[in-house]
Amino acid sequence: MTMVAMSISFTLLVIYFFAFDVQGEECVAGAVLNLQISVEANLTWQVSENEPCDIEQFQVDLLGDREDEYHFKVNSTFVDLSFLEICEQWQFMVTPISNGIAGYERRITGHIPLPSTSSLAGADLSLKYFNVTQVEPRILLLQWDLNNHTHGDCTLRYRITVTDQDFSIIRDRYVTGYSEQVFHLSPCGMYHIAIRPFNIGYPTIEGPMSAREIELPPHPQERPVLRELTIGPTTIHTVWELENYFNQRCPVRSLHVDGGSQFNVEVPVSFPTEERLPVEVDLKGLKPDNMYFLNVSVENMGGLSSSTLIGVQTLELEPSRD
């Protein structure tokens, strides 16, 4: 055999063994594309045009948040899931299989779409009623219900929007159920409260908004806080801090200093702006080296606040110098 013939034979042998190795390798399929839930509750997906493996079937695994599980194999690129519970959240996993070898998994999480009769045009997510009740001076109770409950209440959320109209501050909350409390409101404050139901599953549906304008009735301020105290033989100088305007919008009228049987002082208070400045009170003509008990309260449109009690002893008179 010539050298040329031997070279050709060796080359053909290498090509043969190389082809055998390629054909003998295990082919692992890539993950499917565009995995999604359609309006008709079909789980659909696609195979890449560049997929090198010959895919025989697909492993479909369904895991519910209530520990429900379904596992099966299909030959098509879709599966009807209308038998699943709407109210349960599911993990949908699809794995391609080539020559008995599982490929890479693709998964999504979501709810089964509302039935086709609950299309955007046909769904009724309007509220039967929306009530607002004051349960405490600074707390409101919101209560509502749907006109009907045929569209999967478990996939519904309610967006509550509270707008402080005095400060243009907006607070949003997303809740379930049919009641919610709103805290940290100000007496005499104006609020716009709105609620809108929407479906977190597919398709996304928003119901009409229901709203109420609320002005909280007057209520007394919190007790005043002593910030400064200066004592003399016959005088007591005090500085009092009042509850701020953001927390308490009712106009302040006066500060009361009750000294029992010895005196009772009322200091008129008026703030031209929203800022609540400290209130100064000077008590004069007192007896030296004498104990005074002061009950201090503030009055607004809602009445008198609870009082702050302090005990103050005046200083002794210094002996005069001849």
Burial of 78 (0-12, 13-18, 19+ CB in 10 A): middle
**152 pLDDT tier (thresholds 50, 70, 90):** low
Q: List, in sequence order, the alpha helices (H) in the chain.
A: 3-24
Angstrom distance (rounded) from CA 171 to CA 191:
11
* Mean of pLDDT values over 120-148: 88
Rounded average pLDDT over 230-253: 96
Over residues 40-53, the mean pLDDT reads 93
- Cα separation, 184 vs 78, in Å, equals 51
pLDDT in tens, 175-201: 999 999 999 999 999 999 999 998 877
Judged against a pLDDT cut of 90, whether residue 242 lies above it is answered with yes
How many DSSP H helices and E strands does the chain contain? 1, 23
pTM above 0.85, yes or no: no
Q: Which one is predicted more confidently, 285 or 320?
A: 285
Asked whether the beta carbons of 144 and 210 are under 8 A apart, the reply is yes
Q: In which band, very low, low, confident or very high, does the pLDDT at 119 lie, cut at 50, 70 and 90?
A: very low
